Structure 1
Amino acid sequence: MAESIRDNESSIDSLTTCNAAESSLLSYAPTENSTSCEVLCESTADSSDNVYKDLDWSKYPGYAKAPHTKRQCTSWTWQHGYRIQHIKTETLYWLCKPCIVKKAHKAALYASTGGSHSQIRHLKDKHNLDSSGPIQKKRKLNFSDATSMNATIEQALINQRISNFNPDQFKTALVRWMAYANIAYRQVELPQFHDLLQLAYADIDAVGCLPTADTMVRWTKRDFEIYKAPVIRLLAEVEGNIHFTFDLWTSSNLLCLNGVYAHYLNAFGEKKKILLSVPSIDDSHTGENIAQGVADIITEFHLEKRVGYFVLDNATNNDKAVEKLGTIFGFNPTKHRIRCVVHIVNLVAMQIMYGKDLKAFETENAGVRHLREDLELWRRKGALGKLRNIIMWITDRHADGNRLRGFKALQIEHQNNLLDDDERRCPPSQLKRPNDTRWNSHYYAFETACQNRAAIDAYVEKEERSFTTRLEQTLQKNKRRDPDKQLKLSTKPAIVEDKLSVDDWITITRYMQILKPLVLVTKKLEGCPQEGRNGCMWEVLPCYEFLLAHFERLAELYKHDPDEDLRLNIQLGWQKLDEYYKKLDNTEVYVAAVALHPKYRLAKIKQMWSDREADGWPAAAERQLQDLWRDYKDVQLPEEPTEQQPDDDILDEILNPPVPPSTEDLFGPMEHLYKNPAQQQASPPDEMDEFQGAVDASFSRVRDPVNFWILNRSRWPRLSRMALEIYGIPPTEADNERLYSRCGDMVTKKRNRLSANIIGAAQCLRQWDEDGIIEWK
């Protein structure tokens, strides 16, 4: 028995020694040159038990030294822990060695199967250890250090915040946003808006940038004065004369505004416009008062010596205004007064639609009339007048909304009944109210009405049935009443009076076909020219010829038509167009614009007017062209920069020596050449004659006359100056119409205290910024 016990003790000691040797491997921490934190947990020759010497096993009953293994323990935490194992479950545990060494009340014990995150956190939090060893603690700052550091940080933040905020840029950005979005200036005084700004920059009030309505007005005027200077410099750099358009418009707050635009071609042949001002006409709207305001603006921008042509509508006071301007600036008012072509086309269209008594109708319409009288007046205009009344009835803003809602319901019902899937998916077009002052507005109103014919007929029939029902009910009640107690019969609604028949719709369709070319001409001439066409002066004369030929064809087509009003209206439209066509003789630019187009030249005008040779039109056109050419023939041109020849130019040394060479040195045996110098060249040929008589096949392929004259400046310098000035004249004043649409968006019922100065400043800045004339930032 004793021997058996000794054998067992020997075995235990041997096992203990082996485990001690195995555990001793854990004390080998990785060195600086180690590539990993791998610790080999296997048996070694070292059987030292020093690894577990500080471990009191009595505190860990049920645990023993972990057996050796050849599996690699890769976590660095094993350098700071004992490997012990639960005897029954054989689970491997990590026991914190620093806790044992420090004789902690309870050492940390973690199962190795849970990973090493808990061990790492424990070593860091409790023992200030990481994979590199003890963690270097940061020095605690005393009060003086902390105060100094905080002050430095705060100072840097304040400096950065202040340097990032530019008060002038903020003011300009705010003015720019309000000009584009048409924000009322009073809106900036809202406390909520001030709170928003102060959240973005706490010191915004201290730097004087917390806005009010008055400061917004001052900032807008300040920007206008700042950016007006570069606009003046830009206009000063333009070669040649500047052309102008202006037109009067009354705002909703009863200001009479006059928008003045300057027009020109830049050095690259691009059409440019600049809004100069939008002054108010405070006195009566006479030509003299209008002219004085325009003259002040022209002088303000230093353009008084470069006044070109004026493109205006047909108002009589515009004729007087140009006469006054001609007196002020010294030009022929008759020749420099251009009539807006689109206004003329619009007058022709109104003449065709509403007939012979249009002038009397317009005079009557200018006064105050009862609504029913107005509707009756339009009704007498026939099918178009009745359709106009129907549109105005349905879209009446002062009536209850049931009219428009009921019509839209019928539109949707009709849309759902369409057989074509694509047409059914397209939303129905909305009715448009005609406006007598807006170009082609009647045409577009009738066009959308034709697209909604089914819905319009259904709506009128619905109103008619409702009226008939009310009338019958009233009649039935009156049968049971005494004669002196009769109910008043309902008045037939105006829309029922204007009910359209099938023949009416056919007539409307025919008018639409007649008016379509006028709309196409309007769209062509009111655009911004691209590649020398679609809004260029040379297109005016061909457009007139096109429309006259169109009416002559219509007169022949409808010569025997039973609709007498249609025949008469076509004739009246032709007469109105011919009336203004003859007025083109008052100025030479129309003829010159075509004659300077290399594809057409004067020969094209003679061809167009070959049937009017007996009236002297071709000869008159040639005289007009020569008269205008005389104004440019001797014009002083800016000197072209000369190219510097290289210093080693041998010919220059021979031809321009410091000391004239002898004849023998220069010519040798050809001395007779020196004795017969070259003859002086004759006076240069007339540029106009040379251009008109040039034989060049490439001319017939020219589509862009503006680019042609830019490329041929050196060949015909004065003629190109004349051509580019003429092509810089806009054929219409469409820009003024667009301006007043914007002004209408700006001057609303809630902004009826805006002055003309602030309206003009905001609109000028916006237009300059949009067209890239200034960098409004």
Structure 2
Amino acid sequence: MIAFFRDRDPAGRSEPEGMESTSPSTNDVDVLSSSTLAVASLATPAPSLQEETPHEEVEHQYLWRCFPDYVWSQRVRDTPSWVWGFGYDVEDSSGGRRWVCRRCIQNKNPKPRSFAEKGIQNANAHLFKGHGIRAPPDKTKSAAEKKAEKLKVKDQRSIAEVMKLDTRLPREQDIANSLVKGFDRKHFQRLLLEWIIEENHAFSVCEQGRLRQIFEYLNPLVKITDANITRTTIRRKVLSAYEMHKDKVVAALKQSCGLIHVSFDGWKSGNRHSLYGIACFFRDENSQPRKLALGVPELRTRHFGHNIAAEILDVLDAYGIQDKIGYFTLDNAESNDKAMEVIGGELGFVGSRRRGRCFGHTLNLSAKALLFGHNVEAFEEQLSGEAALSEAEHTLWRRKGPVGKLHNLVVDVRRSDQLTYLLRSIQRSEFDLSSDPRIRARQPVDLIIDNDTRWLSQLYMIRRAIILRPFIEQLVLKHRQQWEQDNRSKRTGNLRKSAREPRICLEENQLTVNDWVVLEHLAKLLGFYEDAVKTLEGDGQQRKRKGGWVGSYGNVWEVIQGFEFLLEVLEDYKQLASEIPDAEHFRINVNLGWEKLNKYYSRLDETPIYYTALALHPAFRWGYFENEWKDNTEWVMKAKQMVREVWESDYRHLQVVRSPVDDEPVAKRQRKYYNPFQAYCERTRPVLGYGLVKEEATLSDDINEDTNELELWQSSWEDGDNDVRDPISYWHERKRRYPRLSRMALDFLTIQPMSADLSCVGPAMSDAISNLGGGGLSTPYLANLATSLNYTAGCLLTLFGGPLINKFGIKWSCIIAAVGMPLSGSAYYVCAKYRVNWYLIFAKILTGFTYGFLYVAESTAMLSYPLANDRGFYLGVWSAMRNSGSVIGGAINLSNNHSDSKAGGVAWSTYLVFIAFATLSIIEVMAYGKLLDRTRWSQTKRAWISFACWLIPQAACFIWIGIEYAKLGRRKLENALDYETNTRRCAEAYLPYLIMQSTSYVCQLSLYWILGTFSTNAGSSARSGGLLRAFETAGQTVSYAINSHSGSDARIPFYVHAAILCLTVPCMVFLIRLVPEAPAATDIDAEPVIEGVLDNKQVT
């Protein structure tokens, strides 16, 4: 797990001068040595090949990869600034000299900082703020360093000053000395670190101002000694502790006296990192079961079995335990089959024989079949996961029978404050009417909403609904009465025709008496599932439980019993379901749940895990199979054969060392059972002793090596074997008597039946890596060129898009467009990682043609689908969806470039401003769309208003930008105009751009709305929309083409755009004058309707 962070550690690498940097707020900031000053007196020379060490060669390769157009500086002259000792001196083809931060290169920063020779004072500030490197005493300090020193001097007070002690008085002097001696700075930091780790807090919690104030209030020495730590310090200390203690973990695993079992499972973190948690389970030197999290590697490739196996094998190799690997507990994902095949091939065993299946995952599949029937996966995919249900989702749930109808009811109640408070008031009224003081003291409770299709959440929802059933029925009745009262005409006394009856009041959504009967049976049936999963969910370690009894949960020998117990319960419910009237869903789903459970029960013999664990439990032995499967002798023979094969092949001839055994008595079984499944396990214990030999009378502690320990033990018994509750301790006591069989028993009895322990790794890891980001192209010019070619291809396609859409239809046009999307994404990835530029150009040209189909298809749908008075709203939704990409893109750039302020990357505050404007644009276009639908104005008047809404601010912004360019001329900035570094200049330069960006969506929405006023036919809309998109893509082509050359004059795009705006004004005036006063009754040129799109006439 820590290795995942170590590869991304931006700290902990030393400078050539041997210094280690920390945060500027600490006392350990770098101080320059005299040798450094001597080096800094001259520019850093280009190192010769003979002088380069392997480490330096790697650094130089990374330097040139980040700065491909630069070489070592050819001019060596005096450079008095001390910062040159911490940077590389490079120059471009024009002779422009730059300082590149050596620490950034050593840390492999994806955006290493660099500054022009004339702006070297910025490098001074960067070294202090970015790496905590201070200037030498006799050299110029940056403004940030001076400010930090002033604050430190201002806050630096002694304990005597803070506590107002007069140290001239002996007594108060002793108090001051006692306070100083009583505070251990390192111990405080260690306690703080342990608290953050144990409570799973974010590392940044230690930097919270309020928390630091509490520390300083409790002991002023926290501030005086600068004992507070930063998130970077915590991360460094955690990595240091990991490296320090890793060898101890490796040693403990190697000293394990048996096999090491493994579980792994994958999940995706909130910021899209695909992680695999890996845990191991082993026995320590005292044969007690233990567990460890070995790692959380990231899977950067596709989730194929061989890719998963490679990550798992790397982690196992890092701990050196390949030769001790035992069995695996995994879920039922198909990729795990291939992963186990690869792992087994590498480690020398048959993967399928070593693969156990997570019992909890199997129960989940059976329970979902019981609840939802066929095609559960397809049903889940059709749900959006939103809190409020759409009509389509409401129908999907209703088709799932009583559970689906209850789900709809709960969602409607929970999303309505009115219904929620009404339900509470009904309960409160009922409680107050009771004569029982305990009932009157009750508090109303809410319905529990289920979590998509997770079966335990459905169980809790059903249980709460059954408790609230009388109140729910009153709720529906009162809500209907209130709705009728609100929607009854005062004149006629009848319900208004426009009134829409609430969904929970509709007859088809009502829970009938039979539905409630089914829900009650489901609650009881799923309760048995809950008992089984909770009993088998654990780590197999003996602990004191509630009620005072000592025992373990998560015992692998109870898996077979779990299957038998639930299959027996389902058999009973098959009969019961046939007697319930109108319970078709319930009858079918009970059978489906049984089939799913039986499918995996029949696959238990793919591995010897479960038969061996149960057969080597002293209370069950062969007797369990012979009693429970007496009608299936083939099953009994199969189970015995598998156990004997493992014994003969892996353990009978095993070399063992006899060791002394503790005399601790074996724990006996509990006398009280807490759920029906535990009672079933106790009931199926066979009665031992009949036909067996009592062991004490015939056996000694020493058994000949040729003795078959398995058969000997199976044919003998001891007093109390039938009551053994802890078989691990039982076999630990018998290691001397049965040295090989005890090893086999302990190996199998410590296998985990479920992989639930991995679920605790996910949330912590998701929080821990939430600030990691990715890289991209280092300059925008290649991307701009590729995008320009993309729009060129799109322009060519959209010119003929109308006829093509009319031919293929919208559905197939969207499918064609979707084919190109993965190609475009892969092109940027390949270009950024492998520098394959031609692939990016090729992919963008090809996807330009496929995107052309999408451009015309979406414009056709948006022009022809909405009704005339709703067109503005739907166009606003469409524009908002497109604008959401700007918000996401800005957020990604924020994560990538938040530490940059050079040209090509700006600081985090600038991106926050951009994201805020993009978010406001979404709200803006939604409101603007509603404005266009206002019927109080004619269409012509609305067209003029829309024209003014975007023309006036855009014209003002062009004037503003012209003034700014007049100020700057042809000068290029070494630093980006950044909100954090230069707030006023940033606002002056970027504000008009942000205004134009937001109003451009208003402009686009207006154009489509105006086009929609001329035609309601899909065929003509396809042609007019295609021509509009052709001109739009042509403009994008010109824009990106101009900006694809690094040496282009920045004023040229401005002149081009200004000229286009001037040409647009008369064209728009001419177009608006043609807009009809009312919605078009006929089409300009009617054509047949496109496949999959209804025109307005058909809708009405």
Give the shorter-chain TM-score range: 0.5 to 0.7
* Equivalence map 1:316-335=2 (5 Å): 316-335=334-353
**Segment of structure 1 superposing worse, 404-413 or 334-343:** 404-413
1:3-18 to structure 2, matched below 5 A, reads: none
State whether residues 389 and 411 of structure 2, in contact with CA within 8 Å, keep that contact through their aligned partners in structure 1.
Answer: no
What residue number does 1:710 align with? 732
- Aligned mate of 1:409, from 425, 447, 450: 425
**Match in the other structure for 1:517:** 528
Larger RCO (CA within 8 A; separation ≥ 6)? 1
Uncovered stretches (5+) of structure 1, i.e. residues with no partner: 1-147, 480-485, 644-679, 757-777
Aligned sequence identity (%): 30
Find the partner of 1:447 among 463, 471, 476: 463
Structure 2 counterpart of 1:22: none
Question: How far does the alpha carbon of each residue in 1:558-595 deviate from its partner, in whole angstroms, 9 at most, with x for none?
Answer: 34543333222221111111100011010001001111
Displacement after TM superposition at 1:687 (Å)? 0.6
Secondary structure (helix, strand or coil) at the match of 1:534 reads coil
Report if the CA contact (8 A) 1:594-1:605 is conserved.
Answer: no
Tell me, what secondary structure is at the counterpart of 1:226? helix
Matched, 1:599 2:615: no
Residue identity in the other structure for 1:521: A
Aligned-pair distance for 1:312? Answer: 1.5
1:501 aligns with 2:519: no
1:174 maps onto 2:183 in alignment: no
Measure, in 1, the Cα distance between the counterparts of 2:252 and 2:326. Answer: 17
Equivalent residue, structure 2, for 1:538: 557
Q: Aligned partner of 1:445: which letter?
A: M
Which residue identity is paired with 1:716?
Y
| Alignment RMSD (CA, Å) | 3.6
Q: Note if contact 1:311-1:733 (Cα within 8 Å) is conserved in structure 2.
A: yes
Query: Where do residues 289-300 of structure 1 align in structure 2 (5 Å cutoff)?
Result: 289-300=307-318
1:577 aligns with one of 589, 597, 603: 597
Matches within 5 A, 1:104-115: none
Aligned counterparts, 1:98-497, within 5 A? 150=168, 160-199=178-217, 202=220, 204=222, 209-268=227-286, 270-365=288-383, 371-396=390-415, 401-418=417-434, 420-436=436-452, 438=454, 440-473=456-489, 488-490=498-500, 492-493=502-503, 496=506
Instruction: Say if 1:694 and 1:365 are closer, same or farther in 2 by CA, change over 3 A.
Output: same
Shift of 1:522: 1.1
CA contact 2:728–2:749 (8 Å) conserved in 1 = yes
Contact kept, 8 Å, 1:598 with 1:700, in 2: the verdict is: yes
How far, CA to CA, are the matches of 1:724 and 1:471 in structure 2? 72
Q: CA deviation at 1:548?
A: 1.5
- When the two structures are superposed, what TM-score results if normalisation uses the length of structure 1? 0.65
CA distance in 2, matches of 1:475, 1:303: 85
One-letter code of the match for 1:686? N
Report the Cα distance in structure 1 between the residues aligned to 2:420 and 2:237, rounded to whole angstroms: 44
Mapped contact 2:559–2:753 kept (Cα < 8 A): yes
Task: Rate the CA distance shift 1:574–1:636 in 2: closer, same or farther, 3 A.
Answer: same
CA separation of 1:345 and 1:176: change in aligned 2, threshold 3 A: same
Q: 1:684 aligns with which of 706, 709, 720?
A: 706
**Residue type at the aligned position of 2:469:** R
User: How many positions carry a matched residue from both structures?
Assistant: 559
Call closer, same or farther: CA 1:257–1:230 in 2, change over 3 Å.
same
One-letter code aligned to 1:589: I
Q: How big is the shift at 1:742?
A: 5.8
2:315 and 2:773 map into 1 onto residues whose CA distance is 17
Displacement of 1:366: 7.5
Assess if the C-alpha contact under 8 Å between 1:532 and 1:705 holds in 2.
no
Deviation of 1:523 (Å): 1.5
Task: Say whether the 8 Å CA contact 1:588–1:624 is kept in structure 2.
Answer: yes
Equivalent residue of 2:392, what SS? helix
The 5 Å alignment of 1:50-69 reads none
Report how far residue 632 of structure 1 moved: 1.6
Question: Whole-Å Cα distance in 1 between the matches of residues 425 and 187 of structure 2?
Answer: 51
* SS of match in other structure, 1:631: helix
1:721 aligns with 2:743: yes
Q: Residues 369-418 of structure 1: CA distance to partner in whole angstroms, max 9, x if unpaired?
A: 9722112101011111111122223334xxx6444333333333333344
Change (3 A) 1:464 1:240: same
> How far apart, in 2, do the equivalents of 1:642 and 1:538 lie?
24
Structure 1 equivalent of residue 571 of structure 2:
552
Distance 1:517 1:508 in 2: 14
Counterpart-to-counterpart distance in 2, 1:475 and 1:390: 33
Which residue in 2 is equivalent to 1:768? none
Q: Report Cα offsets for 1:473-520 as digits up to 9, x if no partner.
A: 4996999xxxxxx98443633575633222221221122223222121
AA aligned to 2:729 is N
Secondary structure of 2:278's aligned partner: strand
SS in 2 for 1:611: coil
SS at match of 2:626: helix
Distance in 2 separating the partners of 1:600 and 1:188: 54
Flag structure 2 segments of 5+ consecutive residues without an equivalent: 1-165, 543-549, 663-701, 775-1100
Q: 1:239 to 1:354 in 2, by over 3 A?
A: same
1:608 corresponds in structure 2 to 628
Q: 2:641 corresponds to which residue?
A: 623
Provide the C-alpha distance between the structure 2 equivalents of 1:175 and 1:149, rounded to a whole number of angstroms: 34
CA deviation vs aligned residue, 1:697-736 (integer Å, no higher than 9, x gap) = 4323333322211111111111111111111111112222
Q: 1:325 to 1:410 in 2, by over 3 A?
A: farther
Over 3 Å counting, the alpha-carbon distance change for 1:151 and 1:403 in structure 2 is same
Alpha carbons of structure 1 residues 642 and 730: separation in structure 2 relative to 1, 3 Å: closer
Partner amino acid, structure 2, of 1:425 = A
Structure having the higher Rg = 1
Shift of 1:606: 2.8
Equivalent position amino acid for 2:398 in 1: R
Query: Aligned-pair distance for 1:175?
Result: 2.0
Distance in 2 (alpha carbons) for counterparts of 1:186 and 1:753: 11
Q: CA offsets, 1:279-319, max 9 Å, x none?
A: 33333333233222222222223322211211121122222
TM superposition shift of 1:208:
5.7
Corresponding residue for 2:655? 636
TM-score by length of 2: 0.47
State the Cα distance separating 1:328 from its structure 2 match. Answer: 2.9
Contact 2:280 / 2:291 at 8 angstroms: preserved in 1?
A: yes
Query: Which whole-Å CA distance do the structure 2 matches of 1:160 and 1:443 have between them?
Result: 60
8 Å Cα contact 1:171/1:219 also seen in 2: no
C-alpha displacement of 1:159:
6.1
Q: Where does residue 109 of structure 2 map in the other structure?
A: none
Compared CA separation, residues 428 and 584, structure 1 to 2 (3 A): farther
Q: Retained in 2: the 8 A contact 1:393–1:495?
A: no
Alignment partners' CA distance in 2, 1:270 and 1:418:
55
Question: 8 Å contact 2:537–2:754 — kept in the other structure?
Answer: yes
Contact 2:368 2:454 in 1 (8 A): no
Residue 195 of structure 1 and its aligned partner are, at CA, apart by: 4.3
- CA separation in 1, counterparts of 2:274 and 2:504? 35
2:658–2:739 Cα contact (<8 Å) kept: no
User: 1:239-293: CA deviations, max 9, x gaps?
Assistant: 1111122222233333333222211344555443222233333333332332222
Contact 2:658 2:736 in 1 (8 A): no
- Aligned partner of residue 322 in structure 2, secondary structure: coil
- Determine the C-alpha separation between the residues in 2 that align with 1:521 and 1:415: 36
Q: Match of 2:488, SS? A: helix
- Contact 1:172–1:223 (8 Å) recurs in 2: no
**Contact 2:536 2:753 (8 Å CA) reproduced:** yes
